[in-house]
């Protein structure tokens, strides 16, 4: 089996099934600003930290010192690696004077002189500009051989928009495309592994973030998480946190299942979720992810209806994560929920606000598949998930599911709806489906009082009726 070198980027290692193959050549292609230079430097320093030696050769007019000054600001930079394990070299002068043959000799010479096992050639498009198409193909072919002979990884960076039919893409062992895209007013970066010989890849585009720490790649949840086996062997029930609801559910929610609470604003979805979390303890740790109400507000809300969330929070049995409903990278968010659930052996997960997740997606139709992948992962860990999703309808008879696909991809669906009758605002709950189980199919009116959710009409509604 051919040895693989980590790319230094966890998400990219996942896309490439472990990283770059030793003795192979890769093209990393993308427009200026897509992150190619950062990716290549991050790879070099990760390689050096792992005990290898790396060379970064630029064919651009930009000096190595300028490049170094820029890279030294990044979190992955290690000054102690210079100049022994990590070398910056310019090939621009040799390319100008001696053309591609001279540049090829320089690459061979420097790889041997520094005993390098990784090399970056930045600005491959410059080499193409000084030669004919045929000469450039021969150059790429020769570089492929040089990488193999040196038993090193060669990464060539280019910003030229060359399509998949170009000869160099058939010659190299791997082809990675980076892009800087816009959708409406939103700008975002993506990465796609177009080719990787001898390795399974996660196909398609995946989101990228660049920070002071370098590049982070977030594989699409529905492609990266689907491979996990679903351990749904549990046949017991998980209490919903409300005894009356458990009766409707024939004992509670199936363990390891995913439940969707659907309803308009004010229907009681978050309140029901707080009931669910109120049972968190050392045996059943919990995790909540919310987008609209801050942790302090949620704790106060729980107190106001007689639910004690302060105790499990203070004892470390319940973690409340809050994110503003902005342009979050959903795949990062999903991976974070999975990691936290696995690390703390969480049994109760409550995600309040799938609308915020949907609105963060560039392609909103991904939502059902993302939630399905998340639910499968949580189920495999042994956690039961509860999600809330908002619908605009306010009348009981007009209620519709937010999306057929989303409803189909969860195990249980509870509809919470509202309406007006006899001059009073009223709430209703119906169990729409429950995984492999019978349930009470009737619609039940409920209200929220100082003890939380209570089934039956709100006593104050009678006063309204009399007043009407």
Reply yes or no on whether the pLDDT at 467 is more than 60.
Answer: no
What are the backbone dihedrals phi and psi of residue 342, each rounded to the nearest 5 degrees, phi first?
A: -70, -40
Beta carbons of 222 and 369 less than 8 angstroms apart: yes
Reply yes or no on whether the pLDDT at 227 is more than 80.
Answer: no
238 bridge partner residues? 253
Better-predicted residue by pLDDT, 322 or 63: 322
Better-predicted residue by pLDDT, 317 or 233: 317
For position 391, what pLDDT does the model report? 84
For position 11, what pLDDT does the model report? 96
Reply yes or no on whether the pLDDT at 89 is more than 60.
Answer: yes
> 341 exposed, middle or buried (CB, 10 Å; 0-12, 13-18, 19+)?
buried
For position 270, what pLDDT does the model report? 97
Distance CA 425, CA 126 (A): 70
Beta carbons of 419 and 267 less than 8 angstroms apart: no
Beta carbons of 67 and 56 less than 8 angstroms apart: yes
Q: Per residue in 107-130, pLDDT tens?
A: 999 999 999 999 999 998 888 888
For position 419, what pLDDT does the model report? 86
Distance CA 424, CA 309 (A): 30
The DSSP annotation for 52-104 comes to --EEEEE-SSS-HHHHHHHHTTSTT--GGGTTTTEEEEE-HHHHHHHHHHHHH
Better-predicted residue by pLDDT, 119 or 419: 119
350 bridge partner residues? 288, 386
| pLDDT (mean) for 248-254 | 95
Distances (CA, A) of 305 to 128, 452, 456: 70, 5, 17
| pTM: predicted TM-score of the whole model, two decimal places | 0.88
Least confident interval from 158-162, 163-167, 434-438: 163-167
Q: Is residue 420 very low, low, confident or very high in pLDDT (cuts 50, 70, 90)? A: confident
Listed residue (388, 433, 167) closest to 277, CA to CA: 388
For position 460, what pLDDT does the model report? 86
| pLDDT (mean) for 67-89 | 93
On average, the pLDDT of the chain sits at 91
Taking residue 340's Cβ as centre, other Cβ atoms within 10 Å add up to 16
Distances (CA, A) of 455 to 430, 444, 458, 463: 12, 7, 9, 18
Distance CA 196, CA 173 (A): 6
| pLDDT (mean) for 127-134 | 85
| pLDDT (mean) for 159-185 | 84
Q: Are strands 174-183 and 25-29 parallel, antiparallel or unpaired?
A: parallel
Q: Which residues contact 81 (CB under 8 A, 6 or more apart)?
A: 45, 48, 49
Q: Is residue 424 very low, low, confident or very high in pLDDT (cuts 50, 70, 90)? A: confident
For position 392, what pLDDT does the model report? 76
Q: Per residue in 299-330, pLDDT tens?
A: 999 999 999 999 999 999 999 999 988 789 99
Least confident interval from 164-178, 239-253, 422-436: 164-178
For position 198, what pLDDT does the model report? 82
Listed residue (135, 150, 61, 66) closest to 102, CA to CA: 135
For the sheet with 384-390, list strands across it.
Answer: 318-322, 286-290, 348-352, 384-390, 258-263, 412-421, 424-433, 444-449, 452-455
């Amino acid at each position: 089996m051919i040895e693989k070198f980590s790319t230094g980027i966890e998400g990219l290692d996942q896309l490439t099934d472990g990283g770059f193959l030793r003795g192979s050549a890769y093209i990393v292609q993308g427009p200026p600003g897509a992150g190619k230079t950062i990716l290549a430097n991050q790879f070099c320093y990760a390689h050096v930290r792992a005990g290898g030696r790396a060379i970064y050769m630029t064919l651009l007019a930009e000096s190595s010192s300028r490049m170094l000054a820029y890279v030294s600001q990044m979190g992955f930079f290690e000054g102690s690696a210079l100049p022994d394990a990590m070398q910056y070299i310019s090939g621009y002068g040799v390319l100008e004077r001696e053309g591609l043959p001279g540049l090829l000799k320089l690459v061979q010479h420097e790889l041997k002189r520094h005993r390098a096992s990784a090399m970056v050639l930045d600005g491959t498009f410059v080499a193409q500009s000084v030669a004919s198409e045929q000469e450039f193909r021969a150059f790429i072919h020769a570089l492929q051989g040089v990488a193999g002979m040196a038993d090193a990884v060669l990464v060539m960076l280019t910003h030229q928009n060359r399509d998949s039919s170009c000869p160099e893409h058939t010659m190299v062992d791997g082809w990675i495309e980076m892009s800087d895209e816009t959708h409406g007013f939103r700008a975002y970066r993506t990465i796609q592994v177009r080719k990787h010989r001898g390795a399974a890849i996660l196909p398609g585009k995946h989101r990228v973030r660049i920070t002071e720490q370098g590049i982070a790649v977030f594989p699409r949840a529905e492609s990266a998480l689907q491979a996990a086996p679903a351990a749904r062997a549990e046949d017991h029930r998980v209490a919903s946190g409300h005894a009356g609801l458990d009766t409707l559910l024939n004992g509670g929610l199936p363990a390891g299942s995913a439940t969707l609470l659907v309803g308009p604003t004010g229907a009681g979805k978050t309140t029901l979720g707080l009931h669910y979390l109120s049972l968190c303890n050392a045996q059943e740790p919990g995790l909540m992810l919310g987008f609209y109400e801050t942790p302090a507000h949620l704790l106060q809300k729980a107190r106001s209806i007689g639910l004690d969330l302060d105790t499990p929070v203070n004892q470390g049995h319940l973690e409340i994560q809050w994110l503003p409903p902005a342009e979050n990278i959903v795949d990062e968010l999903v991976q974070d929920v999975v990691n936290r659930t696995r690390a703390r052996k969480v049994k109760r997960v409550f995600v309040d606000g799938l609308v915020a997740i949907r609105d963060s997606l560039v392609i909103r139709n991904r939502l059902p598949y993302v939630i399905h992948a998340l639910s499968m992962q949580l189920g495999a860990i042994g956690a039961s998930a509860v999600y809330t999703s908002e619908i605009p309808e306010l009348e009981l008879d007009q209620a519709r599911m937010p999306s057929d696909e989303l409803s189909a991809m969860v195990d249980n669906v509870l509809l919470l709806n509202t309406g007006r009758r006899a001059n009073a605002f009223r709430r209703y709950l119906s169990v729409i489906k429950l995984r492999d189980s019978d349930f009470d199919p009737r619609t039940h009116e409920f209200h929220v009082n100082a003890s939380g959710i209570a089934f039956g009409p709100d006593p104050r509604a009678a006063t309204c009726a009399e007043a009407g």
